[in-house]
Amino acid sequence: MARLEGKVAVITGATGGIGRAAAALFAEEGARVALVDLDEGALRELAVSLGEDKASYTVADVTQPDQSQAYIDAAVNRWGGIDVLLANAGIEGTLATIPDYPIDVFDRVIAVNVRGVWLGIKYAVPAMRERGGGSIVITSSTAGISGAAEMSAYNTSKHAVIGMMRVAALECAPHGIRVNTVNPAPIETRMMRSIEEQRTAAMDDANVNVETMKQSYAQRIPLQRYGNPEEVARMMLFLGSDDSSFCTGGVYMVDGGRSAGGR
């Protein structure tokens, strides 16, 4: 039997690398998926590729309460309820020291990566209670358990959602709702290309390019490579499914050993 048969999963940040991989895997495993992002064209394309009998979509800014409530309501109206919330929407911001970090960029990163997750939980929990339980999976990062120079906004946001997850896990346990984070190391996505390009530009060194920067990041991972979105999605599938029925309040690393003490 498919691991998500009969379940409805809401996925924010659905058109990014990890979001797409999760949407495809969840649908393959029997879920009806409600996709959420800002780009309607990309959402429509993804929904069509998964099939109208398996996927719906809502254009929404996860930082806005009315739009967050709307994407939850849309999923309930289309599919009859919600069993899984994958709070995956996130942005990286820019690279700069704290004195030089643009305040508007900091505020936007915190809005998307923290407020957006909080709003998703706020409006999903009542719908999950009506179903008798569910699973909330939050995308954090290895940046949520360690520091990285010039990434104050991103690191702060990814630490913050771990704290939020722990509070939500305690509040939601009486309702049969489990809450966990997934914490990837560098993954082959647009976000990592952006970080590599920003780091390379800041180096101002003819011997450093995006490829050598990527190699530098990969060498800090014991498995000596980036992960791929499908590897992250498989952990999300485990946490969204009944296979993880006794797992809540946890920080689940998908990091090739990086948190064990890679350089």
Enzyme catalytic residues: 154
Cβ contacts of residue 85 below 8 Å, gap of 6+?
Answer: 9, 10, 120, 121, 124, 128, 134, 135, 136, 137
DSSP 180: E
51, 52, 55, 58: CA torsion to nearest 10: 130
Q: In the chain, what's the furthest Cα-to-Cα distance?
A: 59
Distance CA 186, CA 195 (A): 10
C-alpha distance from residue 250 to each of 121, 123, 164 (Å): 16, 21, 12
Of 7, 12, 19, 15, the C-alpha closest to 46 is: 15
CA Rg, the chain, in Å? 18
Return the H-helix or E-strand segment holding 177. Answer: strand 177-184
Q: Per-residue b/e over 21-36, b at no fewer than 16 CB within 10 Å?
A: bbbbbbbebebbbbbb
